[in-house]
Amino acid sequence: MKKTIRLLILSIAISSTTFMGFTQASSLRPEASLYQRLGGYDAVVAVVNNLFPRLAGDKQLGRFWAHRGADGIAREKQLLIDFIANKAGGNLYYRGRDMKLVHKDMRISESDWRILMKHINATLDEFKLPDRERQDVIAFIESTKADMVELP
């Protein structure tokens, strides 16, 4: 009797899935990660390559990259690429330290943060990022703020 009930429930489940068609079957597939929706590694690299000169060349933020050699800046860019790709759902391994440790004692202010966000938004504008991905990227970046900003 129990076996018959289980078979009946199973056949109802199968027929309802078939009846619902493609929509229900597709809802069983996992959604693409932010990394995939952004375009993968090459897209992350393009964004970082656009953003980094904006930050380093900014009158206020440039102090964080002043007197750094080309090799140090290249390493920092690669760490940023790896961090973004990893945190957005890509399969890259981030070898850097956590954000709180990396930014400790850098004296990053709320004003610095606002300028950073201005440059990030300009970069996202340049790439014409769709609203959903833009909101996800901004939310992700905002989630790191408490680990970076030290001064009011």
Q: pTM of this prediction?
A: 0.77
**18 has pLDDT over 80:** no
**58 has pLDDT over 70:** yes
**4 has pLDDT over 70:** no
* Burial of 81 per CB tally in 10 Å (0-12, 13-18, 19+): buried
pLDDT in tens, 76-132: 999 999 999 999 999 999 999 999 999 999 999 999 999 999 999 999 999 999 999
**143 has pLDDT over 90:** yes
CA 82 to chain centre: 10
- Per-domain residue ranges of the chain: 1-30, 32-148
What CATH architecture does domain 32-148 belong to? Orthogonal Bundle (1.10)
